[in-house]
Amino acid sequence: MRKLLVLFFVSISTITAFAQEAAAAAEKSGFQVLKEKFIEGGWEFMSLVLICLILGLAFCIERIITLNIATANTDKLLERIDENLKSGDLSGAMEVAKSTQGPTASVLYEGLRNAKNGPAAVEKAIVSYGSVQMGLLEKGLVWIALFIAIAPMLGFMGTVIGMIGAFDEIERVGDISPSIVAGGIKVALLTTVFGLIVAIILQILYNYIVSKIDGIVNRMEDASISLVDIMASNNIFK
């Protein structure tokens, strides 16, 4: 019985020790490991990859904040415009659209502003100003796409240059030692790994931004069609 108790306590202490080691490894496997690998990869190309990440995130955050502000409740906006047009208050409807933030409200304002010129002028104004608003929504996307493309390229370039350095070291030593080859190749490949990580992060954010823009554009088109119907039903074109 005593031997079983001793064996039990030894097992418990062993499991506890393994758990503590695993917890310590888990704590180290996060940001600390990334920082260590970043330093091992060399500051020359790693710094360029980091700059791509910082600039890309800056553009992504700016676009996300702008698009969230631009997202308006179009149904409520159209209801308020309809209420003013039913009472014959065109200037009040224009003021509602003007005081509302977002590209949809701006497009509706342009349509209301040209109401006295007939439905053809309203549709033309909506299409023209809608194109301008789409250009503003897509502002900065080309730079995000550039950083998505250039980050892995910089990583690959760092890998190629690192491999050249490893072969130069082999030539200098005159011995194909596994430690020399493995060390040089590991450092060289780290730049590619970090370049791909940066590209993946920015690509996810880029796709999210594009989906937000598509949603805003769809709502803007639906609201424009609804505006023309509302204006026609309230005899604004007479």
Residue-by-residue pLDDT tens, the chain, 238 positions: 444 333 333 333 433 443 444 444 445 555 565 556 555 556 666 788 888 889 999 999 999 988 887 776 777 888 888 888 787 777 888 888 888 888 888 888 888 888 777 778 888 888 888 888 888 888 889 999 999 999 888 888 877 777 777 677 667 766 666 666 666 666 667 788 888 889 999 999 999 999 999 888 888 888 888 888 877 777 766 5
Cα 188–150–208 angle (5° rounding)? 120
Contact predicate 190/110, CB 8 Å: no
3-state secondary structure of 62: helix
State the maximum Cα–Cα separation within the chain, in Å, rounded to a whole number. Answer: 102
Place of tokens 């006295």: 116
What are the extents of the domains in the chain? 73-138+228-233
How far apart CA 166 and CA 181 sit, in angstroms, is 6
Contact predicate 105/72, CB 8 Å: yes
DSSP letter assigned to residue 174: T
Contact predicate 76/100, CB 8 Å: no
Q: 110: closest CA among 79, 138, 133, 80? A: 133
pTM beyond 0.75: the answer is no
